[in-house]
Amino acid sequence: MKLFYILILACYSTILHSQEMASISGQITDKQQQSVYNVNVYIKELKKGIYTDKDGNYKFSQISSADYTIIISAIGFESQIRAIHLSSNQAIRLDIVLQEKVNQLQSVEIIGRKEKSYKNTRSFIGSKTEMALKDVPQAVSYATKELILDQGVTRIGDIVKNFSGVNQNTFYDDIIIRGFRINGSSNTQLLNGMRTSTGFWKQPLVNYLERVEVLKGPASALAGNASPGGVVNRVTKKPLDIKRNSMSFSTGSNNTVRALGDFTGPLNDEKSLLYRINIGYEDAGSFRDLQFDKNIVIAPSISFLPSDKTQLNFDLIYNSSKSRLDRGQSVFKGDLYSAPISLSLSSANDYLNEETYVMTMALNHQFSDNFSFSSSYIRTGYDEDLLEHRSANAYAVNASGEDISDKVAMQVFQRKRKRYIDNLSSFLNYKTNTGALNHNIILGYDYAQQEMPPGGSQLQASGYLNADGTNALNINSAEQFLKDKDKYMLDKNGNPVPNIPHFDLTDRVGSQQLKNMNKYIYKIREFGPDFYNSHGIYVQDNISWKKFKALLGLRYDNYTDKINYKQTDESNVKQHAYLPRIGITYTATKNINLYGTYLQGYEPQMASNMDSTLGGPFDPLESNMIEFGSKTTWFDGKLSGTIALYKIQQKNSLYQKPNSDDLQQIGKEESKGIELDLSGRILDNWNVTASYAYNNSNITEDENGNSSNLQKPNTPKHQGNIWTRYNITNGVFANFGLGMGTNFLTERILQQNSDQTIPRYTLLDAALYYKINNFTLQLNINNISNKEHWVGGYDYIRLFPGTPRNWLLTMGYAF
């Protein structure tokens, strides 16, 4: 009897086991037959889901026979539902081809980018709404988060080496695009397509960014106030409807310690409420004397999708930074190589404390298939608390009024100020047809304002003591000093006595010690209160006809700057501009688009430049650009390239007068050249990005009507880069990867009408990667040859040397 029960039980177990051995597997691809990573495959009845691997494969094992509903969903694709019947011990193969979903609701990015390589195919930077980059009639350079992570970089200044025609100008958040300068404090940079400010002195961490992109040429038709060279757009990471978390820890040269976290997913079962939070901590030294950076970044983001017609998004970026302000390296007069690149003129007293927040709210609503509304608001707040010893932009003066080659004249700034920026952008989007023409029409309004409230001020000590030591006087020339020598306090050698002790280049350690600041004689300089605002109204039509696309736009911008804001003599300076935009794209073949564009731009001179003590107010900058180019793809769309030829003209540029803080308005400038960019994959396990730029940029008409053949300051005629990563997939070294890259810049001048230059350089970087399951280990080694070089500078007193050989070891885990 027992044997009978045992046999019955064994048979039952065998039947049960056979039922559990059924399985469902398959591969998810797109319409180009490329595998799609991280697709959610969900069995509704079992409430069980998995994600596809890097090859797009998935598999469910040990499933009982039954009827099932399979739901396949991925960001950027149309969801699919399949009903299947699974029999006992059956193995079903279910391959799915996903169709791309173009969401015209978005004016800022609500959903994340689907690509997982160095290539990006769509953006909002060209036309306010999502658009294929190949159809944007303008050159666009970009760096995806995958490239940023592979290179182990954390600052915009390091990222821009990947872009054609873009290079650093200083250590600050301060770069050159096609020969024209932009910086973080100018309110011409973009965050998710909205104008904002990042501060100026320090480059923030970029761990919360999905990518960095540069739209070349004046973007005034879209954004109003903009540099003629181009605009940098920082695109933040957005919430995902799948759970994805990662953490990384880094250590490296110069006592660097860094911890980063990225957490995202749905907050409810319906996936109508999504979250993402990026956090970062950094404590890093520097190869530069006395310099350090301590940063905390917290960047939460919430997306609410109550229906398929409405989306709301909230973003906040908070950055607390403690550091010293590095004004650059000084050398013995006339000799670039006479002082070490580590030399900083800071004092142990110095500090720079900054707090920045950027808050964004966006609403997108679709009234019908052809009619939608979008509105975004961004608020930026900046708080600066600064104490610095810095050069007075001149060498010390001896008894004859001549420069002392090994001593730098010094000054001290103690400053507190705040800045608040508000921007509102709203537009209606209507799609219609007129005969054979398809129209995508945008009618929009932008408002921007910036305020520096009362209280912003600076204690400034500089110059040389007067005869009785009660005041400080400037020395503008040897002739002036010798004529008025009896007005100055002189030491036993007849040298004028400085208000701030000179920095002795032969005794840098002694010159960097704590200073008794009570002995300095200060003057007060006001920073604010300042206020400006601008109103912009624009219309844009993206027209499609057969193989042609036309992007036509017109914007009217009205700018008001309040001089002597909140004072009895307050007055307004008003400037305005009409800004047309014409761009044509022609699809020559499946893989080649040709384009041409004409743009006009303008940039009002900001409040700081309106100051009459600096020579202002000044006329606005006015610019125009003509560009022709081609955009192509290879290897079944995996690799994309752009070639662009351009000419940009601008008038009314401001330059600092030699040996003076005053500004002068140069007549006309011209920049023309050719650029090439390449990004994407050659093979599934081989990523590459490369660029080259030739730029001829000079002043064609100065304030006296004369032409200059000199290249504009800090603008190389030739520059280029290449970076590639190859992952080994087979053999004993499977799971390993290797990255290598190089970038070069040719010689640059530092000031117009000056013989001071910084030399060309070529750098070599490398990286080693190891990945097993969700664990990664990465080693980056930069400037392998330890090349001495300079990324930019103003003159030989304010040089900005590049980092010598350095390394960074990063351990990461995704879960």
Average pLDDT over residues 186-210: 85
Confidence class for position 109, pLDDT limits 50, 70, 90: low
CATH of the domain at 39: 2.60.40.1120
Cβ-contact 62, 42 below 8 angstroms: no
- Rounded Cα distance between 787 and 805, Å, is 8
Instruction: Decide if 488 is inside a domain.
Output: no
Instruction: Decide if 160 is inside a domain.
Output: no
- Rounded Cα distance between 32 and 632, Å, is 16
Confidence class for position 105, pLDDT limits 50, 70, 90: very low
* Percent of the chain predicted with pLDDT > 90: 68
Average pLDDT over residues 292-307: 95
Look at residue 789 in the predicted model and tell me its pLDDT: 97
- Bigger pLDDT: 99 or 305? 305
Average pLDDT over residues 276-299: 97
Confidence class for position 233, pLDDT limits 50, 70, 90: very high
Q: Write down how long the chain is.
A: 815
Q: Is 75 a residue whose pLDDT tops 90?
A: no
Round the average pLDDT of the chain to a whole number and report it: 89
DSSP helix/strand/coil, 77: strand
Average pLDDT over residues 773-797: 96
Cβ-contact 193, 130 below 8 angstroms: no
Confidence class for position 77, pLDDT limits 50, 70, 90: confident
Instruction: Decide if 126 is inside a domain.
Output: no
Q: Is 790 a residue whose pLDDT tops 70?
A: yes
Look at residue 112 in the predicted model and tell me its pLDDT: 57
Average pLDDT over residues 23-50: 83
- The predicted-structure confidence for 496-547, as pLDDT tens digits, reads as follows 999 999 999 999 999 999 999 999 999 999 887 999 999 999 999 999 999 9
Q: Bridge partners of 91? A: 23
Q: Is 362 a residue whose pLDDT tops 50?
A: yes
Look at residue 106 in the predicted model and tell me its pLDDT: 46
Look at residue 489 in the predicted model and tell me its pLDDT: 96
Look at residue 369 in the predicted model and tell me its pLDDT: 87
- Rounded Cα distance between 587 and 572, Å, is 48
CATH of the domain at 314: 2.40.170.20
Confidence class for position 274, pLDDT limits 50, 70, 90: very high
Instruction: Decide if 334 is inside a domain.
Output: yes
> Between the CA atoms of 650, 751, 212 and 590, what dihedral angle is there, to the nearest 10 degrees?
50
- Amino acid letter at 4? F
DSSP helix/strand/coil, 607: helix
Look at residue 16 in the predicted model and tell me its pLDDT: 45
State the total domains in the chain: 2
Look at residue 756 in the predicted model and tell me its pLDDT: 93
Closest CA to 282 of 316, 252, 262, 237: 252
Q: Is 265 a residue whose pLDDT tops 60?
A: yes
- The predicted-structure confidence for 453-502, as pLDDT tens digits, reads as follows 999 999 999 999 999 999 999 998 999 999 999 999 999 999 999 999 99
- Bigger pLDDT: 39 or 722? 722
- Rounded Cα distance between 483 and 463, Å, is 17
Look at residue 15 in the predicted model and tell me its pLDDT: 44
Domain boundary among 40, 63, 97: 97
End-to-end CA distance of the chain: 53
DSSP 207: T
Instruction: Decide if 608 is inside a domain.
Output: yes
Average pLDDT over residues 792-805: 96
Domain that holds residue 88: 22-97
Residue 243 half-sphere exposure toward CB, CA atoms < 13 A: 6
- Rounded Cα distance between 220 and 473, Å, is 44
Instruction: Decide if 195 is inside a domain.
Output: no
**684 phi/psi in degrees, rounded to 5:** -60, -30
- Bigger pLDDT: 580 or 88? 580
- The predicted-structure confidence for 138-185, as pLDDT tens digits, reads as follows 999 999 999 999 999 999 999 999 999 999 999 999 999 999 998 877
Instruction: Decide if 466 is inside a domain.
Output: no
- Rounded Cα distance between 449 and 748, Å, is 36
Domain boundary among 97, 117, 135: 97
Cβ-contact 295, 280 below 8 angstroms: yes
- Rounded Cα distance between 24 and 3, Å, is 37
Of 8-12, 212-216, 587-591, which gets the smallest average pLDDT? 8-12
Cα 284 to Cα 331, 417, 456: the distances in Å are: 25, 26, 29
Look at residue 637 in the predicted model and tell me its pLDDT: 85
Domain boundary among 35, 68, 97: 97
Look at residue 608 in the predicted model and tell me its pLDDT: 44
- Rounded Cα distance between 297 and 160, Å, is 21
Look at residue 615 in the predicted model and tell me its pLDDT: 61
DSSP helix/strand/coil, 563: strand
Average pLDDT over residues 305-312: 90
Instruction: Decide if 6 is inside a domain.
Output: no
Tokens of 67: 């009827």
Look at residue 172 in the predicted model and tell me its pLDDT: 92
- The predicted-structure confidence for 636-669, as pLDDT tens digits, reads as follows 888 999 999 999 999 987 776 665 666 777 788 9
Q: Is 439 a residue whose pLDDT tops 50?
A: yes
Q: Is 20 a residue whose pLDDT tops 70?
A: no
Q: Is 14 a residue whose pLDDT tops 50?
A: no
- Rounded Cα distance between 283 and 133, Å, is 38
pTM: 0.86
Average pLDDT over residues 7-35: 65
